[in-house]
Amino acid sequence: RHILRNLEFSDNNGNHYLSNGVGLLFLGVLLAEFSDAKRWRQKGFEIVWGEIQRQVHADGVDFEQAIGYHGLVLEFWYSSILLCERNGIDVPRHVRERMERMFDFVLAYTRPDGTFPQIGDNDDGRLAGLDDEPVGSHRRHLAVGGAMYGRGDWLAAAGEAVETAVWLCGSDVLDEARTPVEVKSAAFPVAGFYVMRAPDITMVIDAAEVGMRGIGGHGHNDVLSFDLWAAGAPVLVDSGTYTYSADAAARQLMRSTSAHNSLRVDREETSRLGTGRWLWRIENDARPTIQRWSSDDEFDVLDASQDGYRRLPQPVTHRRRIVFDKRRRVWCIDDVVEGSGAHLVELFFHPAVPVQCDGNGVRLHAPRADVWLFGPAETEFRTEPGWISRGYGQRESATVLVYSKHGPVPLQLRTWIVLTQRGTSSAAARSLLDGMGADL
């Protein structure tokens, strides 16, 4: 009764309203003898079945643009479906179809070690903790999805993270056929996420709007940023979340442009951040446009732009092209700032592994390889203290790499990232780039 009287309803409902519906659905089904149970069930069905079409894009990505929350709401929906099916209640076809695409997105972004990139907010939320799987992993969802849809590829990707699936779907999941497949690069163009993959490599690129249809919510200022996992570890990452209203200054820092592998102009945010009571607000300034996405066995290419800096007195547009050469294991990142006037342009990179500055490059020590980052020519290079949050309420000090240049636009900045054998020198790593500029 309290939930029904206090629904968290608005013009743009999110996971709170969905959780209200899940609570009513569970209570109405499990406490059917109560006089209000029918009302609870009906309202729960209305919310849970209806919100999947409003809150999940057609390509299966939650509209809050936060991967942690994608996993949370997916758990809301599959738990509701399983409860209904076990009680003889029909589930609308559109719900199962949309949810299947949600599992496909989980498969695409899950790194080889089972973790997911900290893109957008993440408070480690769960509907029910039924396993000991790390909170930074969504493999449990793949196991549940594999059992529900008979998808051996999802079960294979879940590995040993099957405990939740056993509780919810029964022990038969342990005997289900597993069909390991190589997870390929993938595009989710409605939401704006693009995944570049090769063996032992996953790069997730956020070319999405701010989230919740332009009001922010659990999104960050991460447009055209990326997360790179390679050779056994996350290498370049989103700084994470750390906290919400307990520390407003820390929240603003962690969701700011400079807390992501992104580009900043004139020390301004790509989209203006709300303050005070609007701490979950981000203005819809930076609207992305995709010029090109292509993927084959040799190259992945994403070419995209955002117009968040068109609001400056001397307006500019940021365009980023990322080319991934899968054979050479090299990324070329071209950032172009076009418009009018002279501007300070800064590129930020956030390593999650030990860093060694060596000559004109930076060596990032991954467990099974070295990752060399060569910043743009004719820029000033500095390191800054920063933070990485791997879970809610947690943060650790980290080094931030910053490349800056002040001058008239257009400005073009080219960054190279090269995956090499352990112990490869800066000169040897750079020699791998010889002749590549013309190829790209």
Distances in whole angstroms, Cα of residue 303 to Cα of each of 127, 306, 412, 414: 38, 11, 14, 14
Angle at 115 between CA 60 and CA 148, to 5 degrees: 45
Least confident of 97-101, 159-163, 243-247, 431-435: 431-435
Instruction: Name the band, by pLDDT with cuts 50, 70 and 90, for residue 440.
Output: low
Mean pLDDT of the chain: 96
Same domain (yes/no): 201, 322: yes
* Residue whose C-alpha is closest to residue 145's, from 197, 98, 181: 98
The DSSP line for 50-77 is HHHHHHB-TTS-BTT--HHHHHHHHHHH
Here the CATH number for the domain that contains residue 430 is 2.70.98.70
- Give the H or E element holding residue 387: strand 380-388
Same domain (yes/no): 383, 350: yes
- The confidence score (pLDDT) of residue 335 equals 99
Which tokens go with 8?
A: 């968290």
Q: Is the confidence at residue 435, as pLDDT, over 80? A: no
Same domain (yes/no): 200, 168: no
Residue 190 pairs in a beta bridge with: none
Same domain (yes/no): 116, 53: yes
- The confidence score (pLDDT) of residue 97 equals 98
Same domain (yes/no): 81, 36: yes
Q: Answer yes or no: is 180 within a domain.
A: no
Q: Is the confidence at residue 438, as pLDDT, over 70? A: no
Same domain (yes/no): 169, 231: no
How many percent of the chain have pLDDT more than 90? 91
Q: Where are the beta strands (DSSP E) in 102-142?
A: none
Instruction: Name the band, by pLDDT with cuts 50, 70 and 90, for residue 439.
Output: low
- Looking at 144, 175, 206, which one is the last position of a domain? 175
Name the residue with higher pLDDT: 44 or 213: 44
Q: Answer yes or no: is 37 within a domain.
A: yes
Question: Mean pLDDT across the stretch 396-404?
Answer: 98
Q: Answer yes or no: is 182 within a domain.
A: no
Same domain (yes/no): 208, 151: no
Express each pLDDT in 182-200 by its tens digit: 999 999 999 999 999 999 9
CA pair distance 111, 157, nearest whole angstrom: 10
- The confidence score (pLDDT) of residue 12 equals 83
Which tokens go with 411?
A: 């400005």
Here the CATH number for the domain that contains residue 128 is 1.50.10.100
- Looking at 143, 175, 207, which one is the last position of a domain? 175
Q: Is the confidence at residue 140, as pLDDT, over 90? A: yes
Instruction: Name the band, by pLDDT with cuts 50, 70 and 90, for residue 50.
Output: very high
Same domain (yes/no): 143, 275: no
Q: Answer yes or no: is 14 within a domain.
A: yes
Q: Answer yes or no: is 319 within a domain.
A: yes
Q: Answer yes or no: is 186 within a domain.
A: no
Same domain (yes/no): 212, 161: no
The structural domain count of the chain equals 2
Angle at 158 between CA 157 and CA 161, to 5 degrees: 160
The parent domain of residue 209 ranges over 195-439
Same domain (yes/no): 162, 286: no
Does residue 101 sit in helix, strand or coil? helix
Express each pLDDT in 328-368 by its tens digit: 999 999 999 999 999 999 999 999 999 999 877 999 999 99
- The confidence score (pLDDT) of residue 177 equals 86
Question: Mean pLDDT across the stretch 284-304?
Answer: 98
- The confidence score (pLDDT) of residue 75 equals 98
Output the pTM of the full model: 0.96
Q: Answer yes or no: is 115 within a domain.
A: yes
Distances in whole angstroms, Cα of residue 294 to Cα of each of 7, 106, 299, 435, 437: 43, 21, 8, 22, 19
- The confidence score (pLDDT) of residue 157 equals 96
CA pair distance 324, 345, nearest whole angstrom: 24
Q: Is 211 left (phi over 0), alpha (psi -120 to 50) or beta?
A: left
CA pair distance 261, 14, nearest whole angstrom: 27
Q: Is the confidence at residue 278, as pLDDT, over 90? A: no
Does residue 384 sit in helix, strand or coil? strand
Asked if 427 and 433 touch (Cβ cutoff 8 Å), the reply is: no
Q: Answer yes or no: is 190 within a domain.
A: no
- The confidence score (pLDDT) of residue 437 equals 65
Residue with tokens 């769960």: 126
Give the phi and the psi of residue 105 in degrees, each rounded to 5: -65, -40
Residue 32's contacts (CB-CB under 8 Å, 6 or more residues apart) are none
Q: Is the confidence at residue 296, as pLDDT, over 80? A: yes
Same domain (yes/no): 408, 265: yes
Same domain (yes/no): 231, 350: yes
How many percent of the chain have pLDDT more than 70? 99
C-alpha 386: how far from chain center: 20
- Looking at 140, 175, 210, which one is the last position of a domain? 175
Express each pLDDT in 116-128 by its tens digit: 999 999 999 999 9
Does residue 345 sit in helix, strand or coil? strand
